[in-house]
Structure 1
Amino acid sequence: MTDDSSRGGLAGKLATVARWGRAWAAGLREQLPFISRMMRQMVDVSLLDSSTRLAAQAFLTAIPVLFVFAAFAPSSVRDQLVASATYALGLSGSALDQVRKVLGTTDQTARETSGSVGVVVTLLSATACSRALQRVCERSWHVPPAGLRLIAWRWVVWLLVWLSALVVQGLLRDGFGAGAWLGLPLSAVSSTLLWWWTQHLLLGGRVTWLPLLPGAVLTGVGVVALAWASRFYMPRTLDRSLSAFGPFGMVLTLLSWLIALFTVVCLGIAAGYVLAHEPPLARRLGTPPPG
């Protein structure tokens, strides 16, 4: 009786495992088309190439605009920029001191070194980041490049809005003094809205609002999650880089962080296209057929 019971129990377990295996295989077969579409989308967008190019453009053109903007801004705005950088990168110690020195440049020094013409040239050169991000949006949504008359002014608008948004990021992530329990949801919502608007703006309004929402949610939440995680690993990484290589180490670490940031951005926007074309979501969002 004992042997028969043992064999019966083993047979029941094997049958359960077999049923689970068949269910898993059936689920995998159902998901394979979605996985293949997602992988094909990442190839079409050139994920790693696009994220690296965006990081380089941001580092070479957009960040200098941030420094010039901080130099001409009132001290209260500079303080908010430092707070935003602290929350985004988890800055502390010598790394935070370096950022304070750069963002604490006096107005007179900035005017003497740059002048009004230099500021305008720096601003226009920073639209290279806007243009690179526009190409990512167009590749993700498989639309042809927009004409210059349609899109050129949008590059400057995008840059100015994001500079303004950076000023309040520290306040948002602190929940306006209430703490992280309010700051994290506020940051996620504001980041989602910004990336929703970014896609619509840089696509020149050629894609309606609702289909862009999945990509905005993925990108917005992903950026906030990266910033939150950065508070744990970036301080030690920055301190080690500064002690080993000096200011050059901070440059390398910041560039690596920008590559990670724009990988999240490109991944979110590209995956949003695939999700928006999945039948259940496509019906609700009114997503137009591919192509």
Structure 2
Amino acid sequence: MRRHLRTLRHGWEWLGAHILLRRGRDLELMHRALGFATLALVTLAPLLIVVAAADPLGRGGFAAWLADGMGLSGRSARLLAEIISPPREVVGTTSVWGGLALAVFGVPFGGSIQNGYERIWSLPPGPWHRIWRQATWLCVLTAFLYQEVLTRHTLQGPERIILSLVTGVLFFWWGQRFLLGGQVRWWHLLPGAIATMTGLIGLRGFSYFVFTPLIVENAISYGTVGVVLIVESWLIGVGFVIFGGSLFGRWLLDHHGHRFTDDLPTRAGTGPAGDD
């Protein structure tokens, strides 16, 4: 028995999992995931509602975007559409200034992602004039989400899975590099991008098996509030995966990166700096 316990302890120490857990606590990972979900619901969702309503191809509006991201189908997707779908005249009643305001309010969402990445890689906060990076990242995020919804209607089976995997890894790979201002090498950011996409696939499966029936039950028991609660819970999971995936990639390179590369920096940020 003691031999098995010793083996488990040595394996735990060799993996460095205790360091990963400690870094998660230092980063306040769950707190950041809660902040992510709140900002996504308050600042990002209104912007996506307007963008989805303005879709010339008419792919079902924001509710269809959300249902696709959560992996919902059938009755749960219909309930989500009934509760969350905005009025048809949402675009007509949104002025140019209102659209610009929504875009401006969405920028802090990108700022929260940037701040999390900077903490993970032990980098100082970027200067205020890098706000254009957050705005650009937000635009690319919107385009990425739209592409995901678009392929739902044009591709099926393995083709869509492969395309989603490739575009997802590329987005999170590029997103880290771009928000960090090029201060971390591309190669060092790839494990985090892969881990993030892997986590989102797992979250989608969890959502399909757990959140799908819960949405129906909560809609019956609590009405609109119950459905919004499930959506917020899913957003917390997304935030946990995005920050946790990047953190896992950093930890993997720190503790096992020497097995794959010899140019791993002794500390974060020693890679070539990018432009402001």
Query: What is the TM-score when the length of structure 1 is the normalising length?
Result: 0.81
- The question of whether the paired residues in 2 share the 8 Å contact of 1:200 and 1:208 is answered with yes
Q: 1:203-223: per-residue Cα shift (whole Å, max 9, x none)?
A: 111112110011111001111
- Pick one of 132, 139, 146 that aligns with 1:160: 139
What is aligned with 1:203?
Answer: 180
Match of 2:201 among 213, 221, 224: 224
Q: Which among 16, 34, 40 is matched to residue 58 of structure 1? A: 40
Q: Answer with 47-56 or 89-98: which moved more.
A: 89-98
Displacement of 1:104: 6.4
The CA deviation string for residues 21-67 of structure 1, in whole angstroms up to 9 with x for no partner, is 66545434433xx1232122112211011110011000101001011
What is aligned with 2:116? 136
Between the two structures, name the one with larger relative contact order (CA 8 Å, sep ≥ 6).
2
In terms of Rg, which structure is larger?
Answer: 1
**Normalization by structure 2: what TM-score?**
0.86
Q: Are residues 144 and 66 of structure 1, via their aligned partners in 2, closer, same or farther at CA, if it must alter by over 3 Å?
A: same
* Contact in 2 for aligned 1:80/1:168 (Cα 8 Å): no
The alignment partner of 1:111 has SS state of: coil
In structure 2, the partner of 1:6 is: none
Q: CA deviation at 1:173?
A: 5.9
Task: Measure how far apart 1:109 and its partner are.
Answer: 4.3
Q: Secondary structure at the match of 2:126?
A: coil
Name which of 104, 123, 128 aligns with 1:124. 104
Of 16, 30, 42, the match for 2:14: 30
CA RMSD of aligned residues (A): 2.6
Structure 1 stretches lacking a partner, 5+ long: 1-16
- Code of the residue aligned with 1:52 in structure 2: it is L
Give the aligned length: 267
CA distance in 1, matches of 2:37, 2:155: 31
Aligned twin of 2:29: 47
Partner residue in 2 for 1:250? 227
Is residue 191–residue 224 contact of structure 1 (8 Å, CA) maintained in 2?
no
Q: Does residue 177 of structure 1 match 2:158?
A: no
Distance in 2 (CA, whole Å) between partners of 1:190 and 1:126 is: 22
Q: For 2:253, which of 261, 264, 276 is the aligned residue?
A: 276
Distance 1:72 1:100, change over 3 A: farther
Contact map agreement 2:40 2:109 (CA 8 A) in 1? yes
CA contact (8 A) 1:213 1:272 kept: yes
CA distance in 1, matches of 2:98, 2:221: 34
Moved more, 226-235 or 140-149: 226-235
User: Structure 1 pair 160/23, CA: closer, same or farther in 2 (3 Å)?
Assistant: same
For the structure 1 residues 246 and 145, does the alpha-carbon distance in structure 2 shift closer, same or farther, using more than 3 Å as the test?
A: same
Say if 1:212 and 1:272, in contact at 8 Å, map to a contact too: yes
Deviation at residue 82 of structure 1 after TM alignment: 5.2
3-state DSSP class of the match of 1:119?
A: helix
Identity of aligned residues (%): 27
Which residue is 1:99 aligned to?
Answer: 81
- Do residues 267 (structure 1) and 251 (structure 2) align? no
Q: Would the aligned equivalents of 2:214 and 2:230 in 1 still touch at CA under 8 Å? A: yes
Matched-pair contact (CA < 8 Å) for 2:34–2:236:
yes
Question: Which residue, 91, 103, 110 being the options, matches 2:91?
Answer: 110
